[in-house]
Structure 1
Amino acid sequence: MAETPLKFLIDADHGQFYVQDLEPYDAWMAEHATDPDLPPAGWTEEAVQVHRIGVEPHSISVGTARDDMVESQITVHASAPMTEPTAEHIVEADLDAPTGQLALSSPGVLPEDGPSMTVPCGLLRVRVSYIPSEPPVVDTNGGPGDHFLYRIDVWPTDQARQLAILKQGPNPWAG
């Protein structure tokens, strides 16, 4: 049984926004933020060029095709939903959410100013689908890049799995 989707616009400053269980993420960052071997926000070269998401403990950074306001939707499901056939790119990763409180933010939107959502506590599977769309009805900065609806589907899982690309979009893709 799926919850009602939470639809939101977010300023994808620097071409990204975050889905985070903030309290444990902040604790992890306090210990690991200065580690020179860890890429910021999980943005390895492969994440940038292939996955389009950056993964860190308690956090997924969603790469966007625009440095602008983007349309997004997050839905919690009881189990894995069907994939969206019109999506250009689909990727899945695990997200550990021990508090069950997800904050949606970006470099330009503080977590307390962005939307939030209650989810089942524990290990979640997150699917990010890049669905081609029209420009949002809000004023944007008119910069370059394709418009997508960034659909995020979340469901509880009891088994950790590797990041998986279910459908690979074209490369290069942003711009």
Structure 2
Amino acid sequence: MAGASLRFLIDADHGQFYVQDLEPYDAWMDEHATDPDLPPAGWTREAVHIHRIGVEPHSISVGTARDDLVESLITLHMSAPAVESTAEHVVEADLHVLSGVLTVSSPGVDPADGPSLAVPTGLLRARVSYVPSRPPVVDTNGGPGDHFLYRIDLWPTDRASDLLVMRQGPSPWAG
């Protein structure tokens, strides 16, 4: 599986898309979705303004600079790759995968219609890099916001780690 990758366009409706181990995530949501102390999709104030990702068990929500079609690349590695030198913003978080399949969706894309990628089960480290890019080759709605390639590098780890902002992009950043 190492070296496997998935490049895709997704409608980042409401400025976000999700990378999830869907079945365990849905089971967690069945138990915790109505908890008033938990922010939806992990979007705490700090997540919105600093991390740019929301983290929940079995799920990472990637905040995007556009409410539009965005391009992303997910790559599986054996160990932590070098940090993308041209990335404006880089953040890492843990992603616990039980099923061996990650599903990509958004508020406007049903998980059954989104792309998926086979990955090892267990604890993965996910590095989300915001790499400035050109607009996708397809028509977009022409709305505001910078274009980025949302690069997600994954690798197995045996040690849980805290969320880490490795490179802080400018603020405000979207729009």
Number of residues of Structure 1 aligned to a counterpart in Structure 2: 175
Aligned residue in 2 for 1:120? 120
Give the match's secondary structure for 1:46: helix
Aligned counterparts, 1:24-173, within 5 A: 24-173=24-173
Distance 1:172 1:149 in 2: 18
Unaligned regions of 5+ residues in structure 2, if any? none
Aligned residue in 2 for 1:11? 11
Structure 1 counterpart of 2:63, one-letter code: G
Unaligned regions of 5+ residues in structure 1, if any? none
Distance 2:60 2:4 in 1: 21
Percent of residue pairs bearing the same amino acid type: 77
What TM-score, normalized by structure 2, do the two folds share? 0.98
Q: CA RMSD in A?
A: 0.9
Give the match's secondary structure for 2:23: helix
- Give the superposition deviation at 1:3: 1.5
Give the match's secondary structure for 1:113: coil
Distance 2:105 2:133 in 1: 21
- Give the superposition deviation at 1:100: 1.1
What TM-score, normalized by structure 1, do the two folds share? 0.98
Distance 1:50 1:103 in 2: 25
- Give the superposition deviation at 1:2: 4.2
